């Protein structure tokens, strides 16, 4: 009986250790940092309250994002995907610009998953509502503070950067656009 009890305790401890290590392995840690530089005059578009890099400031970079689930927590931010908007160049998925009236998003690097979510739809849940939006771009978590990134800092690893149409569909007052906790999931 003592051997069976000892074996059971050992097995339980082994299971707890396995679960702990599995969760630990899914943690997304910073991959590095970059030093900001002041953008040339007129080169950082501050539409939608976008930040511009600051000279000498260090910005954290990520190659990963938190694990995706059926209810992935994220921060919703505002982005313009139109020509001349704060999103910079054309969208990475289709090399096109998109109207602010279309429900489109950019996902942080890890969630963008090397274009695997390109032109696919996700569901976004926030403010008691939901909206379906197309993934058209990456919110780069690995680089920033250069002309390719409109002299903006790298994205945090948990961002769904959304057009005005997404914010409107969620019923968020314009005065509150900018940063909001949401959940998202892949569509079937």
**103-140 pLDDT, tens digit each:** 999 999 999 999 999 999 999 999 999 999 999 999 99
Neighbours of 71 (CB within 10 A): 10
Tally of CA atoms within 13 A in the half-sphere of 120 that contains its CB = 14
Residues facing residue 101 across a β-bridge = none
Q: CB-based contacts of 124: which residues, under 8 Å, 6+ apart?
A: 76, 105, 130, 131, 132, 133, 160, 162, 166, 170, 182, 183, 184
In the chain, the percentage of residues whose pLDDT exceeds 90 is 65
pLDDT, mean of residues 164-172: 97
Neighbours of 172 (CB within 10 A): 19
* pLDDT one-digit tens code per residue, 65-74: 999 999 999 9
User: Residue 137's Cα: distance from chain center in Å?
Assistant: 10
Q: CB-based contacts of 53: which residues, under 8 Å, 6+ apart?
A: 36, 37, 38, 39, 44, 59, 144, 145, 151, 152, 153
Q: Answer yes or no: is pLDDT of 146 > 90.
A: no
Q: Answer yes or no: is pLDDT of 4 > 70.
A: no
């Amino acid at each position: 009986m003592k051997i069976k009890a000892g074996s059971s305790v050992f097995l339980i401890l082994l299971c707890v250790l396995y679960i702990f290590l599995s969760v630990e392995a899914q943690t997304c840690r910073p991959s590095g940092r970059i030093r900001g530089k002041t953008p040339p005059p007129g080169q950082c578009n501050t539409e939608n309250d976008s930040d511009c890099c600051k000279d000498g400031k260090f910005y954290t970079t990520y190659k990963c994002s938190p694990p995706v689930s059926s209810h992935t927590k994220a921060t919703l931010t505002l982005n313009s995907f139109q020509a001349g908007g704060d999103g910079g160049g054309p969208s990475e998925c289709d090399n096109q610009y998109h109207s602010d009236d279309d429900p489109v998003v950019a996902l942080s690097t890890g969630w963008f998953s090397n274009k695997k979510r390109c032109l696919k739809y996700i569901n976004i849940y926030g403010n008691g509502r939901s909206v379906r939006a197309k993934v058209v771009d990456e919110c780069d978590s690995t680089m920033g503070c250069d002309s390719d990134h409109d002299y903006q800092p790298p994205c945090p690893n948990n961002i769904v950067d959304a057009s005005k149409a997404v914010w409107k569909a969620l019923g968020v007052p314009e005065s509150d656009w900018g940063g909001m906790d949401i959940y998202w999931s892949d569509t079937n």
